[in-house]
Chains A and B, each alone.
Chain A
Amino acid sequence: MTRGKAVEVFKVSKSFGDYQALKEVSFTIHENEFFTLLGPSGCGKTTLLRMIAGFDIPSTGSISLFGTEIGTLPPHKRRVNTVFQSYALFPHMTLEQNIAFGLENLGWDKARRKARVAEMLELVHMTPFAKRKPAQLSGGQRQRIALARALAPEPQVLLLDEPLSALDLKLRQAMRDELRTLQRQTGITFIFVTHDQDEALDMSDRICVLGEGRIQQLGTPSEIYEEPENRFVADFIGATNFLDVEVLSVDGPRARVRTPMGIEIEAAQKGVSGPGKATLSLRPEKIGIEDQAAGEIIAGTVTARNYMGGFTHYTVETRGAVLRVSRRNALSQAESYAIGQQVRLGIVAGSARVLGQ
């Protein structure tokens, strides 16, 4: 499938005084894509989004929207709309007026405006509230109106800056599904900013992991989780065990390493060129315990246990390393392991990843 390029960010840097918030960031977002910018607080996600919206101008580099350079165009001349983190609904206008605001500025005639406002209210299930003011709404309802207001002018790209962070857990889950459905229905390219990895993995077509002002990795959710390209990504997305290992041999994309536990394993590698030191990332849920142990087997003692409902996390001390292991809780509690108990762990080749240092 070939898709048009919705947004091209090319070598964009942004400095605030001496502080460089973004360093030569480049990526392309396709038409009709749900694209997520993910990263820890302060990594430059909002800064990047604000430059696409036009509230900030890149220090260097260029940004194009559907092939047209927009780097220095003011916000009101870009066919891009934003859902603000604080929603930024106009408090003196009714919900209808809020949604119609953008349409009026674009010069739509009255009949068309009215139809579009009604359509948008319908889309976000807020039709009965049309005449209310934003102050009379709950957080979730405000969120929906902010969404309707931003979608109404048919933007080429919709920008969302942590739109779910102000909602409670239950509502957040529901809004995730709604946002995803809305994106499919409208076919508009979404650029979604979050620091919540679950949200990113759940909703995105592709994720761009930002860290320290740079792109750390760009890929589909499963690529990001299963095939992290460096320690930063492996650490930020999900939980993992990092082990200092010695590389014995490298064969293209795979490497053979000796672990501190004494065993040798072969795994996919990234950023390792030859024998020497490296880091092994081993996801807790990919280590088999007792009856699930397969591949290379090592022995250890359970030193801690955290019951999490669906999962139980164990800390297992083996000769040479302490490993976090998690196991899905099955039908009975019978297979739960007590502190002090000796257990067998199994590591399958291919479940780990060798990363350069």
Chain B
Amino acid sequence: MRRGFRFWGLVPAWVLMAVTLLAPLVIVALVSVAKRGAYGGFEWDFTLAPYRDILFTAGWSDELEFDPKYVLIIGRTVLLALITTAICMALALPVAYVIATRGPRAKALLIYLVTLPFWVSMIVRVYAWLIILGNDGFGGRLWQFLGGEGSLLFTPTAMLIGMVYSYIPLMVLPVFAAIEKLDPALLEAGADLYASRWTTARRVIVPLAWPGLAAGAILVFVPALGTVLEPMLLGGGKQITMGTLIQTQFGSARNWPFGAAIALVLMALVMGVLIVNALRAGHKREAEA
């Protein structure tokens, strides 16, 4: 009876997973080893050509030449995600600290404000930045005022600003949770033992908020790897990332198998990060036990 329930009770979840996660994944995997169709789409015909195309191009006489073009795009995407994560960490720490040390009412309000952007469509919000960072927008004016060259919009900087904006709430929340759990007496103990505010932050707050920062880093880094909107709208499509690359392959380039292959590489990267993180967390727990 209990066994039966344990099995049948989970059936809806299994079905949901199979339909929404497993099936599309299998389809993408199949497409990535198929032949490119003449007018988009694909034809059934097993080939590893899409994967080969990531690293090589066919030269004049069909001999393969190493072409770093896509490797550079992958590298750039990873770098962009890393920089975004680092900036989010640096900004979220003081923000989370300030929120965590307010009174209960102010705290609730500030947390609500942090999560507020989630209620508005991502596309709308990124479009808003298009206006802000434009030559007549506040950000664009500030850029010129600070002596920035040319226009800010459609530069890597603009793209980065958009990405930090999009993902920073995912960093603030876990860091806030970690700092809020701190005993305020620990900070007083720091000051009592002759540590300046800066030293207390560096030697007490950051190490103790580290689990929150690590969780936030995963939450930011993973979606930042696959980001499409910011490079497309704010980077003006000039900054190709894995996300935009996939999008173009399925869209204008009409090379579905290649797009699917890149998508799987992206997924492998994400899985890699998650697995390394899980292993490290496991090790740490073992070391502490």
Contact = CB atoms under 8 A, between A and B. Distances in A.
> A and B: partners?
yes
Contact of A76 (B195, B203, B208): B195
Nearest to A100: B193
A90 B186 contact: yes
Interface stretch (A29-37, A78-86, A331-339): A78-86
Given A88-B183, A91-B208, A105-B199, A76 B188 contact: no
A266 B190 CA distance: 56
Interface of B is mostly: helix
The list of the 4 closest CB pairs from A to B, nearest first, reads A102-B193, A105-B194, A88-B185, A88-B189
Interface in B200-228: 203-204, 207-208
What is the predominant secondary structure among interface residues of chain A facing chain B?
A: loop
B286 interface: no
B194 A106 contact: yes
Contact of B192 (A75, A89, A91, A92): A75
B196 interface: yes
Interface string A43-86: 00000000001110000000000000000001110001110111
Given A76-B191, A76-B192, 15 more contacts: A53-B188, A55-B188, A76-B196, A81-B192, A82-B188, A85-B185, A88-B183, A88-B189, A90-B189, A91-B208, A92-B207, A101-B195, A102-B193, A105-B196, A105-B199
Contacts of A53: 188, 192
Interface residues of B, number: 17
A335 B254 CA distance: 108
A16 B189 CA distance: 23
Contacts, number: 55
Nearest to B191: A75
Contacts of B193: 76, 81, 101-102, 105, 149, 153
Given A90-B204, A91-B208, A92-B207, A76 B185 contact: no
Nearest to B194: A105
Contact of B194 (A76, A85, A92): A76
A91 B185 CA distance: 12
A90 B189 CA distance: 9
B184 to A, nearest CB: 9
B201 to A, nearest CB: 13
Contacts of A105: 193-196, 199
Contacts of B192: 53, 75-76, 80-82, 150
Given A90-B204, A91-B208, A74 B183 contact: no
Interface of A: 53-55, 74-76, 80-82, 84-86, 88-92, 101-102, 105-106, 149-150, 153
A338 to B, nearest CB: 53
Contact of B183 (A86, A101, A149, A153): A86
A84 B185 contact: yes
Contacts of A101: 190, 193, 195, 203
Contacts of A75: 188, 191-192
Interface of B: 183, 185-186, 188-196, 199, 203-204, 207-208
B70 to A, nearest CB: 43
A88 B195 CA distance: 15
Contacts of B189: 82, 84, 88-90
26 contacts: A54-B191, A55-B188, A75-B191, A75-B192, A76-B191, A76-B195, A76-B196, A80-B192, A81-B193, A82-B188, A82-B189, A82-B192, A84-B189, A86-B185, A88-B185, A88-B188, A88-B189, A89-B189, A92-B207, A92-B208, A101-B190, A101-B193, A105-B194, A105-B199, A149-B193, A153-B193
Contacts of A92: 207-208
B56 to A, nearest CB: 49
Contacts of A106: 194
Contacts of A81: 192-193
A149 B207 CA distance: 19
A7 to B, nearest CB: 16
Nearest to A155: B192
B191 A88 contact: no
A321 to B, nearest CB: 48
Nearest to A91: B208
Contacts of B185: 84-86, 88
Nearest to A75: B191
A257 B208 CA distance: 65
A74 B203 CA distance: 19
B3 to A, nearest CB: 40
Nearest to B192: A82
Contacts of A80: 192
A114 B188 CA distance: 24
A178 B28 CA distance: 72
B198 to A, nearest CB: 11
Contacts of A84: 185, 188-189
B194 A88 contact: no
Contacts of A89: 189
Nearest to B195: A105
Contacts of B208: 91-92
Contacts of B207: 92
B134 to A, nearest CB: 45
A92 B192 CA distance: 18
Nearest to B199: A105
Nearest to B193: A102
A105 B193 CA distance: 7
A54 B194 CA distance: 12
A54 B190 CA distance: 12
A97 B186 CA distance: 14
B191 A74 contact: yes
Most chain A beta-carbon contacts within 10 A, residue among B192, B194, B195, B196: B192
B193 to A, nearest CB: 4
Contacts of A82: 188-189, 192
